[in-house]
Amino acid sequence: MVEPSDMYDLVKTLTEIPGPTGQEDLVQAWCARHWSILAAVVQVSPVGNVLARVGGAGPRIIVLGHGDELALVVRSITAEGLLTVWPAWRDVRGRPPYWYSPINQPVCVLADDGLIDGQLCYASGHVVGGPRDKDTFEWDDWFVDLGLRDRARVDALGIHPGTRLVPNPPTRRLGDAVVGKAMDNRAALAIATAVGERARAETLRYELWIGSSVQEENGLLGAASVAATERFDYGIALHVGLCGDVPGTNPARHPSRLGDGPIVVHSDTFAHYSPRVSRALVETARAAGLTVQQAVFQNYGSDGAELIRHGVETGLIAFPTRYTHSPNEMVTLEDLERTVDLILAFLEREPLPPRWDGR
């Protein structure tokens, strides 16, 4: 057992690493390095998934988050050195969606020669006012300004069509909360890391693995091969939890609240999670005196769906998160710590019996 990290330090460190979908290398490298301190075995798969065996004995279980974050990709470079952009995911609308608006944020451009600061901009104010006012953005309206005035200087930095970029505000404390980009899903990796650091092998009733997948935001692609790398009996997927406690939401559809503890998710758009695992998680929380919420989500999916698709009985635990898929995703450290406590308590209880004993 290693000295546990401070949860805020973990969250700040992980969220501030740039890790766009398809180019998660810096995040995955952090996981591989840090987890090698606490794990007996660390594996990096050919596609970049990181899996670490922490220890314990019993059925094999993986606690899985994902390393990628929503990103934009350079489409072209203007003569003035501005980067036009497209989304790094399948675009079904042909314009920026209402739920994704990182405009006017600092960005980090992952150039071939290193990380470059930029600003995501649009033509604003007096030059577009009056009769030219628009009701919605088009992708052509957004561009990245590097503060350079010609294309040759941009080319020399190793920036080209296909270069990825992510919003890049600092992660900071705000009242009782922590706000920043990429809580989806780096806060999950902070939870998985804390579970690995705090687990005591002698009390575990499972063989514990923790993992970070790639390309979750691009159709759960990375998680599709996790079960091909190692065999697991059970999975706990970790993901952001949808909160309906701010204006513009519907509490009847999203009754979960920030600060009210981890959320056991029974189903979402892609999967129905194991009722046995879900029930055991709720029972574990109540027995341990932990507050727990329960939910079903729509317009949402997690790597847990791919674990199920590949034969792993899986539950989903979400940590309450406001403003998902924005540069100001918000969590509380208390919710993250409670999620760690719930997982550790679950790992120390009697494992679920086989579905059928063959007799």
| Calpha distance 305→334 (Å, rounded) | 27
DSSP 319: E
pLDDT at residue 129, as a whole number: 66
Q: Per DSSP, which regions of 243-347 are E strands?
A: 263-267, 293-296, 313-321, 329-331
Least confident stretch, 63-67, 226-230, 352-356? 352-356
- Which tokens in the block code for residue 266? 């029974």
By C-alpha distance, which of 187, 262, 237 is closest to 10? 187
Position 63 pLDDT exceeds 80? yes
- Segments making up each domain of the chain, as ranges: 7-69+181-347, 72-166
Q: Which pair of tokens denotes residue 38?
A: 């606490």
Q: Is the pLDDT of residue 130 over 70?
A: no
* Model pLDDT, residue 1: 60
Q: pTM for the complete prediction? A: 0.95
Report the distance separating Cα 237 and Cα 226, nearest Å.
Answer: 12
Dump pLDDT digits (tens) for 151-197. Answer: 999 999 999 999 999 999 999 999 999 999 999 999 999 999 999 99
**Cβ–Cβ < 8 Å for 278, 307:** no
Rounded Cα–Cα distance for residues 11 and 96 (Å): 28
Q: Which CATH superfamily is domain 72-166 in?
A: Peptidase M42, domain 2 (2.40.30.40)
Residue 78 token pair: 């203007």
Give the residue-averaged pLDDT of 331-351: 97
CATH architecture of 7-69+181-347: 3-Layer(aba) Sandwich (3.40)
Q: Evaluate if residue 357 carries a pLDDT over 80.
A: no
The Cα 312–Cα 3 span in angstroms is 31
Closest CA to 103 of 163, 17, 167, 172: 167
Summarize pLDDT for 194-240 with one digit per residue, the tens.
Answer: 999 999 999 999 999 999 999 999 999 999 999 889 999 999 999 99
Q: In this prediction, what percent of the chain has a pLDDT beyond 90?
A: 87
Percent of the chain with pLDDT over 70: 97
Q: Which of 238, 237, 240, 294 is nearest to 263 (CA)?
A: 294
Find out whether 246 and 257 touch, Cβ atoms under 8 Å.
no
Do the first three CATH levels of 7-69+181-347 and 72-166 match, i.e. the same topology?
Answer: no
Helix then strand then coil, in percent of the chain rounded to 5, is 30, 25, 45
Closest by CA to 12, choosing from 177, 240, 186, 165, is 186
CA quadruple 35, 41, 46, 49: dihedral sign: negative
Omega prior to 185 cis, within 30 of 0: yes
Checking if the pLDDT of 359 tops 70, the result is: no
In terms of pLDDT, which residue wins out, 127 or 93?
A: 93
Q: What is the mean pLDDT of residues 20-49?
A: 96
